[in-house]
Amino acid sequence: MHINLVDFDQVLFYTREALSRVYREAFQIHGFSISEQQLIEIEGQSIVQLFDNLNIHDEGLRTGIRRFKKENYKTYFKYIIPNIDLLNLPNKVIVSNASSEDIADILTYYNITDVLGIVGRDKAQRLKPHPDPYLQAVNLFPATSYTIYEDSDTGLAAAEAATQFVGSKHKINIVKVDLQITELKGGSGQLIRKLNNRIDKITTTNSALLTLRRNKIPVPEIYFSNDEKIIMEYVDGDLLYNQYSNEKHFKKLMELQGHIRKIHYINGCSTTTYIERLESHSKYFSADPELTYIFNYCCKSLLEHQELFNNERSFCHGDFTLSNIIVKDDKLIVIDPNINDNAMSSWLLDISKLLQSTRGYEYIFGISKKENRPELIKLRKSIMNSLSPELIPLVETLELSHWLRMLRYKKEIGHNDFIIARDITIQILKELESETWQTQLLY
């Protein structure tokens, strides 16, 4: 029998960010400021090492910091990223300097039930770099051979020492793990990380992706989901925005949107709830008379069309831009839906999101390096020609609402992006007030 002895932090799970957040808060409320780098430097060791580095010798302070971490760590579990490749290993035993209780809680959070055992800091007399944790694991889980997975110098030293200690009794192989986390850009400031070929996204709207999957809409494979995050396949394709050809893709795009629209969905939210959401955003710009006017104009126009808007409720993606559709093997795959039970849902919101892309949204904000202006002009014209005349003013207003709702996030992310988005809302207002829709005006 072969057993895999796997370290926990930064090997089986990427916990660095969660630990950094909880410990930095713990130290801060006790009057100390620490950096993520200081925590990285003691990875694989006890927090005692950081206490010593900072000359914190008061046992009351040490106990207070530890207690805060123990009591609050669970609230940071959403920042932890599971290493699914290693979690798929059979016959796993976790060997770590971390607390067995913390490890068990994290396994429970991520619904991991196939671990043979945990040898945490409370199960070994001496911690890594001493070999005792691995020797304990070998004694508790006898096998003919073992593979040890480690990342830190401390852990690797313990693994090497354990190998020398057991000699020829057991065959032990050591694998060094180096998790590479890439942070991706989220349009609304959401935290999105990539590990290997998986995406870890902190979001409260992941139920929409599950709904799409249940209804056979092409979406990434989903590995984990709860009410605060989702882990899914990284689709190695290209943004539809980059490849968009009206002749090649318009029919496919409308068929995809039509399938999403037909999903059975009951939602009591109405135009009023959408306007209230828009008004909540307008409060952030009460000192800006021009934006205040545009917000009021948009809300008034939506009220004028509320009966029509209410009649067109349906399931929708919620962020149906050309950058949230991936082209792979000539197929369109939907990513990042953004709709929930507390939001107005209508296929017209998806259509107006496509209009947002036709203004070069992806190019403007650096999601794509390709302008693709001629094809976007064709897309806009095709969309307008596909709509009944009474829907066009509503769809135009909804596009304006999308630009308005992003202003708050753009202001939080960066001043330059905010100014660009603000200028576009002003331009759209001019188009609406002049009752012309200048499809050639792509920014």
User: 232, 209 in Cβ contact below 8 A?
Assistant: yes
CATH code of the domain in which 45 resides: 3.40.50.1000
Are residues 80 and 164 part of one domain? yes
| Domain interval for residue 68 | 2-176
Are residues 49 and 128 part of one domain? yes
In a domain, 59, yes or no: yes
- The reported pLDDT for the residue numbered 266 is 81
Are residues 253 and 151 part of one domain? no
Are residues 313 and 400 part of one domain? yes
Are residues 245 and 141 part of one domain? no
- 93 phi/psi in degrees, rounded to 5: -125, 130
Are residues 254 and 171 part of one domain? no
Domain end point (choices 176, 201, 218)? 176
- The reported pLDDT for the residue numbered 186 is 62
In a domain, 292, yes or no: yes
Compute the distance between CA of residue 215 and CA of residue 207 in angstroms, rounded to an integer. Answer: 12
In a domain, 170, yes or no: yes
Q: What is the dihedral of CA 160, 164, 168, 169, to 10 degrees?
A: -80
In a domain, 287, yes or no: yes
pTM of the model: 0.83
- The reported pLDDT for the residue numbered 272 is 94
Are residues 253 and 165 part of one domain? no
In a domain, 310, yes or no: yes
- The reported pLDDT for the residue numbered 203 is 85
In a domain, 200, yes or no: no
Report the number of distinct structural domains present in the chain.
2
Are residues 256 and 360 part of one domain? yes
In a domain, 221, yes or no: no
- The reported pLDDT for the residue numbered 71 is 96
Are residues 288 and 145 part of one domain? no
Are residues 263 and 147 part of one domain? no
User: 185, 368 in Cβ contact below 8 A?
Assistant: no
In a domain, 422, yes or no: yes
Question: pLDDT by residue for the chain (443 residues), tens digit each?
Answer: 999 999 999 999 999 999 999 999 999 999 999 999 999 998 878 899 999 999 999 999 999 999 999 999 999 999 999 999 999 999 999 999 999 999 999 999 999 999 999 999 999 889 999 999 999 999 999 999 999 999 999 999 999 999 998 877 889 999 999 999 999 876 556 789 999 999 999 988 788 899 999 999 999 999 999 989 999 999 999 999 999 999 999 999 999 999 999 999 888 899 999 999 999 999 999 999 999 999 999 999 999 999 999 999 999 999 999 999 999 999 999 998 988 788 899 999 999 999 999 999 999 999 999 999 999 999 999 999 999 999 999 999 999 999 999 999 899 887 899 999 999 999 999 999 986 544 443 43
CATH code of the domain in which 248 resides: 3.90.1200.10
> Where do we find the tokens 């004694």?
139
- The reported pLDDT for the residue numbered 267 is 82
Q: In what order do the strands lie in the sheet with 222-225?
A: 181-184, 192-195, 198-202, 229-233, 222-225
Are residues 401 and 259 part of one domain? yes
Domain end point (choices 154, 176, 198)? 176
Are residues 249 and 130 part of one domain? no
- The reported pLDDT for the residue numbered 442 is 40
Domain end point (choices 140, 161, 176)? 176
Compute the distance between CA of residue 239 and CA of residue 367 in angstroms, rounded to an integer. Answer: 9
- The reported pLDDT for the residue numbered 206 is 83
The CA angle 24-27-30, to the nearest 5 degrees, is 145
